[in-house]
Amino acid sequence: MEKIIIFDTTLRDGEQCPGASLEAHEKLEIARQLVRLNVDVIEAGFPVSSPGDFAAVKSIARKIKGPVICGLARCIKKDIESAGLAVKPAKNKRIHVFLATSKVHMKYKLKKAEDEIAKLAAEGVRYARKFTDDVEFSPEDASRSEKDFLYRVIEEVISAGARTVNIPDTVGYAIPEEFGALIRDINNNVPNIGRAVISVHCHNDLGLGVANSLAAVKNGARQVECTINGIGERAGNASMEEIVMAIKTRNDLFGLSTGIKTEEIYKASRLVSKLTGLVVQPNKAIVGQNAFAHEAGIHQDGVLKKRTTYEIMSPKEIGLSSSSLVLGKHSGRHAFAEKMKKLGYTLSGPEVEKAFERFKVLADKKKFIYDEDLETLMEEGAGGFSETWKLVSFRTVAGTDETPVADVKLRSKSGIKTAEAEGDGPVDACCKAIDKITKTKGEMIDYSIQAVTRGKDALGEVTVRVRAKGKDVIGKAASTDVVEASAKAYLNAVNKLIHKEGKRLRIEI
């Protein structure tokens, strides 16, 4: 099958998203993941924009092997020289030069006439060829440019040596039918277009970045410029993962391939989200937390019987181990029974009905139902369980010039036990003291605190998620003292772990 070149611009256009600035070492970390993804081109940055960006592009060019390493430049000599020097260490290097061709840009931004723009574009490409044979040219705002002038510029830059001509929908103005027709018209009206690859770079201002990119591919574009998670200027860029999975999933329609190792998609998404601080929306296609999650009873029943009833691709294709059946107020008995079976509960028909009724009452009160909620539900149905340990008292010492220390007393059936521990803070010290007494060690993987009343003496509710021996539990507690609430919440989780482990978890009391 004919291959679509994936040009990833996460490190250049993606980083231009407000608040997404990356340090040089963070760019390098993302670039290494892009290599694992097997992208064809990495646009590593805009070297002339800052000394830091120049250094980051040069570092990537020196250390990253495999993909073409690309630097962006305006049709200005100093830009092109900077890009040329930055990508010089790369075995495979490219300079991407751009110049606006739409009337609004030429009149108000550049203040230049068509003849001068065409001349500058060709000169920019020729100058970039002094640094590398692989030169790409973008007529910025191509989708709003006069077609005849656009054809002329494309022809002249190809004659000047451009190997790739990128057609940007810079402000996300086009619609798919229109943009696809533009690519088709370029193929039909630029005499030397066969000497260059047609690329597209679509923004998402109208939510059509991916749709426009795919329409372009259907009409002859063979390179797509995109970003992980669709990040970028304003509303972002066409999303790499959506484009790749659309081409793969609808191969019957496209008959094309990409070289992307799709099993690395989820890792790449989470890495970019973590380093940029840009949270992936839950309902984001392909990589959102709900992309392979099912709550509606009808959907859950269908997926349990045959995954493809409600999933057009496998979660394993993007690097997830499985789909998830999210239990909530819309869930049905089938999914509930399956979940309880996975949690180790063997229930008869009548028992399922009773437990399901209790579950529905809980689901009306809570947005998210966790495994430990279901276990508590079953425990309450069976009469609940008594906590092994109770907090008697605690004392902490902390300050800017001393190591935090906690002295904790807990009571069990055998009496009161005391332990002292140091920690990174008073809460950590309390948790470590609790670990000493209970002879267990829990890893706190999530911690949150919320004021449930107003004022300086507000009641604070602490929720912790604790992991021990491969099991996760949630602990909760409230107090006007956040350290006390934290200690009680952690102890609540430890008690649940003790109860859950039963005979397998031997606790000396």
DSSP state at residue 174: -
In a domain, 284, yes or no: no
| CA distances, 218 to each of 147, 172, 226, 371 (Å) | 20, 19, 17, 46
Nearest to 291 by CA among 249, 236, 261: 249
pLDDT (tens digit per residue) in 64-91? 999 999 999 999 999 999 999 999 999 9
Q: Are residues 376 and 394 in the same domain?
A: no
Q: Are residues 93 and 195 in the same domain?
A: yes
The C-alpha atoms of residue 18 and residue 233 are separated, in whole angstroms, by 7
Measured over the CA atoms of residue 290, residue 294, residue 296 and residue 298, the dihedral's sign is positive
Domain count, the chain: 3
Q: Are 122 and 157 contacting, i.e. CB atoms less than 8 angstroms apart?
A: yes
Q: Are residues 327 and 460 in the same domain?
A: no
Domain boundary pick from 381, 399, 426: 381
pLDDT at 346: 78
In a domain, 492, yes or no: yes
Neighbours of 122 (CB within 10 A): 22
Contacts 24+ apart (CB under 8 A), 470-477: 471/497, 471/500, 471/501, 472/371, 472/372, 472/445, 473/372, 473/497, 473/500, 474/370, 474/372, 474/373
Domain boundary pick from 332, 350, 381: 381
In a domain, 205, yes or no: yes
Nearest to 224 by CA among 253, 260, 249: 260
Q: Are residues 377 and 395 in the same domain?
A: no
Strands 2-3 and 256-257 come out as parallel
The C-alpha atoms of residue 220 and residue 190 are separated, in whole angstroms, by 13
Q: Are residues 111 and 46 in the same domain?
A: yes
- DSSP assignment of 123-162: HHHHHHTTT-S-EEEEEETGGGS-HHHHHHHHHHHHHHT-
Domain boundary pick from 318, 347, 381: 381
Q: Which domain holds residue 458?
A: 390-504
Q: Are residues 376 and 305 in the same domain?
A: yes
Q: Where are the alpha helices (DSSP H) in 219-311?
A: 240-249, 251-254, 265-276, 297-305
Q: Are residues 413 and 376 in the same domain?
A: no
CATH number reported for the structural domain that contains residue 441 in this entry: 3.30.160.270
In a domain, 148, yes or no: yes
Q: Are residues 28 and 136 in the same domain?
A: yes
With both helix axes pointing from N to C terminus, report the angle between 176-189 and 209-218 in degrees, rounded to the nearest 10: 40
- DSSP assignment of 75-106: SSHHHHHHHHHHHTT-SSEEEEEEEE-SHHII
pLDDT at 504: 40
In a domain, 122, yes or no: yes
Q: Are 411 and 430 contacting, i.e. CB atoms less than 8 angstroms apart?
A: no
In a domain, 281, yes or no: no
In a domain, 181, yes or no: yes
Q: Are residues 365 and 480 in the same domain?
A: no
- What are the 10-residue block averages of pLDDT along the chain, 509 residues in total? 96 91 94 98 97 97 98 98 98 98 97 97 98 98 98 98 98 98 98 98 98 98 98 97 98 97 97 94 93 85 87 93 80 86 82 85 75 67 68 92 93 93 94 92 86 60 86 83 92 85 43
Q: Are 393 and 413 contacting, i.e. CB atoms less than 8 angstroms apart?
A: no
pLDDT at 208: 98
pLDDT (tens digit per residue) in 206-255? 999 999 999 999 999 999 999 999 999 999 999 999 999 999 999 999 99
The C-alpha atoms of residue 105 and residue 24 are separated, in whole angstroms, by 32
Residue 385: both structure tokens together: 């369980």
The C-alpha atoms of residue 343 and residue 491 are separated, in whole angstroms, by 22
The C-alpha atoms of residue 369 and residue 326 are separated, in whole angstroms, by 8
Q: Are 134 and 71 contacting, i.e. CB atoms less than 8 angstroms apart?
A: no
In a domain, 288, yes or no: no
Q: Are residues 360 and 398 in the same domain?
A: no
CATH number reported for the structural domain that contains residue 96 in this entry: 3.20.20.70
Q: Give the max Cα distance, the chain.
A: 92
Q: Are residues 304 and 442 in the same domain?
A: no
Q: How many CA atoms lie within 13 A of 158 on its CB side?
A: 19
Q: Are residues 241 and 192 in the same domain?
A: yes
The C-alpha atoms of residue 29 and residue 228 are separated, in whole angstroms, by 14
The C-alpha atoms of residue 370 and residue 31 are separated, in whole angstroms, by 36
Q: Give me the numbers of helices (H) and strands (E) for the chain, helices first please.
A: 17, 18
